[in-house]
Amino acid sequence: MPRILVCDDDKEIVEAIEIYLRHEGYDVVCAYNGQDALRTLETASVQLAILDIMMPYLDGIRTVVKLREMHNLPVIFLSAKSGDSDKVLGLNLGADDYVTKPFNPLELLARVRAQLRRFTALGSEVCGENVWQSGGLKVDDERKEVSVNGDVIKLTPVEYKILKHLCANAGRVFAIEQIYTAVWNEVPLSVANTVAVHIRRIREKIEINPKEPKFLKVVWGLGYKVEKY
Partner 1 sequence: MGTKSKSIRCAAFIALAVFIASVGAGCLSYGLIVGGDFSLVWDAPEFGRSMRAQTMTGQALEWAWQLHYTAADPVSERHDAFKANLTYPRPFYYHVQEMAMSATTNVTIPAGETVETFFRQLPLYDSFTFEKMRLVAYVGLAEPAFRELATAYYAERERVFQAFYFVVGGVVLLLLGAVSYAVATWHATDVTLPHKLLWKYIPLDLALGALLGLSLFGARLMVASRELYQGTKLEEPLLVGSAIGIGLTLLGLLWVNMTVQRLKHGKFWRHTLVGTVLLWGLRLFPMLWELRLFSKNAVTMQAVLFVVYAGASAFLVLALANIGTVLTAVIAFGLLVAINVVATLYVVSHAKAVENMVLGTAAIRRGETAYFAPTKWHKDINALAAHVNDIVAGLERAIASRMKAERLKIDLITNVSHDLKTPLTSLITYIDLLRREGLSAESAPRYLEILAQKSERLRILTNDLIEAATVASGSVAVNWEEIHVPSLVGQGLGELSDRIAAKQLDFRVTADGEPLHVRADGKLLWRAVENVLTNVLKYAVPASRVYVDMVSVGNSVRLTIKNISALPLNIPPEELLERFVRGDEARSSEGSGLGLSIAKSLVELQQDT
Q: Count the Cβ atoms, other than its own, within 10 Å of residue 154.
A: 9
Q: Judged by CB under 8 A, how many residues of this single chain contact partner 1?
A: 40
Shortest reach from residue 120's CB to partner 1, in Å: 26
Q: Which stretch binds partner 1 (CB under 8 A): 7-15, 27-35, 120-128, 136-144?
A: 7-15
101 binds partner 1 (CB under 8 A): yes
44 binds partner 1 (CB under 8 A): no
81 binds partner 1 (CB under 8 A): yes
For residues 105 and 99, what is the distance between their CA atoms, to the nearest angstrom? 10
* Candidate residues 25, 102, 123, 128; the one interacting with partner 1 per rule CB under 8 A: 102
Site for partner 1 in 149-188 (CB under 8 A): 175-176
Shortest reach from residue 169's CB to partner 1, in Å: 18
Q: Cα-Cα-Cα-Cα dihedral of 2, 13, 204, 172, to 10°?
A: -80
* Candidate residues 70, 192, 228, 229; the one interacting with partner 1 per rule CB under 8 A: 192
Q: In what order do the strands lie in the sheet with 97-100?
A: 27-31, 3-7, 48-52, 75-79, 97-100
Distance set, CA 55 to CA 22, 28, 33, 45, 111 (Å): 24, 19, 6, 23, 22
Q: Count the Cβ atoms, other than its own, within 10 Å of residue 72.
A: 7
Residue 82 or residue 120: which is nearer to partner 1 going by CB? 82
Residue 20 or residue 119: which is nearer to partner 1 going by CB? 20
For residues 223 and 23, what is the distance between their CA atoms, to the nearest angstrom? 41
Residue 83 or residue 130: which is nearer to partner 1 going by CB? 83
Span between the terminal Cα atoms of the chain, in Å: 28
17 binds partner 1 (CB under 8 A): yes
* Candidate residues 30, 54, 158, 182; the one interacting with partner 1 per rule CB under 8 A: 54
Q: What are residue 37's phi and psi, to 5 degrees? A: -60, -45
**H or E segment to which residue 198 belongs:** helix 192-206
Binding residues for partner 1, rule: CB under 8 A, are 10, 12-13, 16-17, 19-20, 23, 54, 80-85, 101-105, 175-176, 190-200, 218-224
